[in-house]
Structures are given as C-alpha cells and as structure tokens.
C-alpha cells in the first residue's frame, strides 16, 4: 500500500517515502544519511561544519554504504561554500539544502547539473523569494522546530506556503510519526522533514551522555527559544551553558564568540580573512552586533561540545519541541518502517470513514 505515499517529493528525490532527514551539524554524517536512505527516506549530509576534503570523504563513504540518493547541506556564508558546491557537482549528488539562497546564478548552475535545490525557510516571504530564485522544493520549518526558527507554527505557515508556491512543499517542525506525516499531507505538503527524531536514533553519532540528556526532557516548555547564542532566535534544550549565557552580559558573550572563532579557524583551516568575510555575509541585513555576528558564524563549535565531545552541559542542545515526546532510540530502519506503517493505517481508516460517510446519505434517501 506504500503507493499512497508516493508524492511529488518522492518522484523528484528518487526516494521511496516522503520522509527527509535534515542536515544537523556534527550529527548528519555518512552513517546516519546512509541508514536513512537504505530505509527509504532521504538524508542530507551536514556540510557547514566540515572541511571540503572531509566532505568529499563523507560523500564517498555514504555512496559506499548505500545506493540510495542523498543530499548535501551548506550555508552560503561559510568560507568554503564554493568548494562544497563543486563537490556536489563533481559527485552528482542528488540534492542540496540551504537556509539562505546562494544566488540565482549558483542555483541555476546546480539545477542545470540536475541537482535538486531545496532551501529551508521559516517565513512565507522567504518561501516565495526562494522559489523566485529557482528552488525546486521548499522545506517550511515552523516555530516548533529546533535550531534557528521563526515564530509561526508549522500548520499555519505550511498552509500559507502551499497556497503561495507551485513547487513541492515539505513540512518541518513538530514531526515524529505516521500521524504527523498524514496530517502534513492533508495540509498540502509533499512530505515531512525531521531533525530531532533522527538525532534521537540508534544510528545517530551523538554520544550517549548527550542523547540521555535529550531523553530526560519531558516538558515541551524546557525546549525554549533563546537569542543568547548569536542574537537570533534558536530553539534548544535549556541547560547549564544556556542559563549562564542568559545571565551574562555582552562581554562574556563576546569572549565566547572569540573563543569559538579561533576554534573554528583551527578546525576548518580557514584564514582569519575568510572567517571575517563569513561573519560579514551573515551580518548583512540582520542587525546583529559584532559579538552576535561572530558567534553566528562560529556557533558550530559550541554545538560540537555536546554533539561530538559528549558534554551536554557545556554545549548547545538544538531540539524541536517534539523532543519532549520521544522516549526511545530506534534505528532508522525501524523508525521509518513504523512511520510508514502508521501512516498507511491512518490513511486506510480515513478512506473507510469517507466511504461510510458517502454511503450514509444514500441509505437515508432510500428510506423515504
């Protein structure tokens, strides 16, 4: 019965099910992406926190682990964005995702090479602009989603975007199961995208100490939106680092930003000029302070503390509100199978209800 889950998205990406694993920094590695693809979903490698030669190794490793298509994520403001794009073209990666458009010329170049361009947006105007710039698909993340997020709930934003654009729309923010998938399809989406649900899985590379911190969250109110990291709203699990930053002043945040910038320079191999250039690109139009701009450009190093080093009290814990309702860590195969099974069951039940409803008036009319 899986044919009922064939959508414009599955046709475009070449995956069996309209379920997308998002590109989370330090989390969306070759193993997670391949496990997602092998289970019938579509995964994105995180390209914003990795050097180009390691990105190429990740692409090749993913190809070794799966025959399924997959994508690569990057940010236009990262110093090596151009190199990441060249690797996508060289290795004929199926799709790219990004949060800010790399420009019409770059989008056209990717599209001409057969690469599906699939930006993530958090506002109606950004969705319309992305399509004008050439996007093939738009992922719409509502305020329930993790990491940088907007304030409009997914259901409202999704409805607005579906009405406004003519490309497939993917719903993100607040999804974890088959019921959510069916709800998104009913609202006009061509599929769902999940970050937190895949982060909290057996195929995730996140250290157990950090995963346990996620599992301990039981109140959605503990997954808050804060501007303390880089001046932009981010949804994350409240922890010791966040509490400290919320209490501290601008100087403490600037010092943290500088430490992160130096750490990111060592990690990425980027020059000081490249880092400053990345920060300036991010600053344009956002009205951020110098400290916020530095932090935004180098925030991956704060996330690394939790996602790589296994120190959940010392790093950022990006999460959607859905984290509070997740209490198990299944592998991608089990997770996606359960989503599909539940979605198909829901669709069958809805079909039966519709059929019964259609017959009822006829029966009543026959009695008179």
346: left (phi over 0), alpha (psi -120 to 50) or beta: alpha
Can you read off the two tokens belonging to residue 251? 């100087």
Give start and end residues of each alpha helix (H) in 81-136.
81-90, 104-112, 124-132
Helix (H, G, I), strand (E, B) or coil at 139: strand
The SS3 assignment for 226 reads strand
What pLDDT does residue 235 have? Answer: 96
| pLDDT, position 283 | 47
For the chain (368 residues), the mean pLDDT of every run of 10, in chain order, is 85 98 96 98 91 94 98 85 94 95 92 98 96 97 94 96 98 98 98 98 98 97 89 92 81 64 56 53 52 59 89 95 98 98 96 88 54
Q: How high is the pLDDT of residue 162? A: 98
Record the pTM.
0.88
What's the CA gap between 101 and 120, in Å, rounded?
10
Identify the CA nearest to 99 among candidates 44, 155, 148, 65: 148
Which own/partner contact pairs does 272-279 have at CB distance under 8 Å and 24+ positions apart? 274/79, 275/79, 277/79, 278/77, 278/78, 278/79, 279/77
Q: What is the pLDDT of residue 301?
A: 73
Q: Domain boundaries in the chain?
A: 7-205, 210-321
Taking the chain, what is the end-to-end CA distance rounded to the nearest angstrom?
Answer: 39
In whole angstroms, give the CA distance from residue 316 to residue 322. Answer: 17
From CA 98, how far away is CA 75, in angstroms rounded? 6
Beta bridge partners of 42: 20
Going from the C-alpha of 239 to that of each of 97, 226, 231, 311, the distances in angstroms are 29, 12, 18, 11
CATH, domain range 7-205 = 3.20.20.70
Q: Which pLDDT score, from 0 to 100, does residue 271 have?
A: 55
Hey, what are 3's tokens? 């044919």
319: nearest Cα among 188, 225, 206: 225
DSSP secondary structure string for all residues of 44-58: EEE-TTS-HHHHHHH
- Cα–Cα separations (whole angstroms), residue 112 to 108, 134, 173, 282: 6, 11, 31, 27
Determine contact, residues 154/174, Cβ cutoff 8 Å.
yes
- Give the pLDDT confidence score for residue 11 in this predicted structure: 98
The CA–CA distances, whole Å, from 138 to 83, 120, 162, 223, 270 equal 24, 6, 10, 25, 31
* DSSP 8-state code for residue 4: G
**DSSP H helical ranges for 170-249:** 178-186, 196-199, 208-215, 240-247
CB 172 within 8 A of CB 193: yes
Strands (E), the chain: 19-21, 42-46, 71-73, 95-97, 116-117, 120-121, 138-141, 147-148, 169-172, 191-194, 223-226, 234-237
């Amino acid at each position: 019965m899986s044919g009922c889950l064939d959508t414009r998205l599955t046709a475009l990406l070449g995956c069996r099910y309209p379920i997308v694993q998002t590109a989370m920094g330090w989390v969306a590695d070759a193993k997670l992406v391949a496990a997602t693809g092998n289970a019938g979903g579509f995964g994105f490698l995180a390209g914003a926190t990795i050097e180009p030669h390691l990105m190429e190794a990740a692409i090749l490793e993913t190809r070794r682990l799966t025959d399924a298509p997959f994508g690569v994520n990057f940010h236009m403001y990262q110093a090596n964005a151009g190199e990441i794009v060249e690797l996508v073209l060289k290795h004929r990666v199926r799709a790219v995702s990004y949060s800010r458009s790399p420009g019409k010329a770059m989008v056209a170049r990717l599209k001409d090479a057969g690469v599906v361009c699939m930006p993530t947006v958090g506002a109606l105007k950004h969705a319309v602009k992305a399509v004008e710039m050439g996007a093939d698909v738009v992922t719409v993340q509502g305020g329930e989603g993790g990491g940088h997020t907007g304030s409009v709930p997914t259901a409202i934003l999704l409805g607005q975007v579906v009405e406004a654009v003519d490309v497939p729309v993917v719903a993100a923010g607040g999804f974890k199961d088959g019921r959510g998938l069916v709800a998104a399809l009913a609202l006009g989406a061509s599929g769902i995208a999940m970050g937190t649900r895949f982060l909290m899985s057996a195929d995730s590379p996140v250290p157990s100490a950090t995963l346990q911190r996620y599992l301990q969250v039981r109140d959605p109110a503990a997954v808050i939106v804060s501007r303390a990291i880089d001046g932009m709203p981010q949804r994350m699990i409240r922890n010791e680092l966040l509490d400290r930053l919320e209490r501290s002043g601008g100087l403490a945040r600037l010092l943290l930003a500088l430490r992160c910038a130096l750490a990111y320079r060592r990690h990425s191999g980027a020059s000081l000029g490249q880092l400053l250039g990345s920060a300036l690109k991010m600053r344009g139009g956002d009205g951020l302070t110098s400290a916020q701009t530095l932090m935004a450009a180098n925030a991956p190093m704060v996330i690394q503390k939790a996602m790589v080093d296994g120190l959940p009290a010392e790093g950022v814990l990006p999460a959607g509100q859905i984290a509070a309702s997740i209490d198990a860590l299944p592998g991608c195969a089990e997770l996606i199978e359960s989503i599909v099974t539940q979605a198909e069951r829901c669709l069958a039940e809805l079909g039966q209800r519709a059929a019964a409803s259609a017959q009822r008036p006829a029966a009543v009319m026959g009695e008179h």
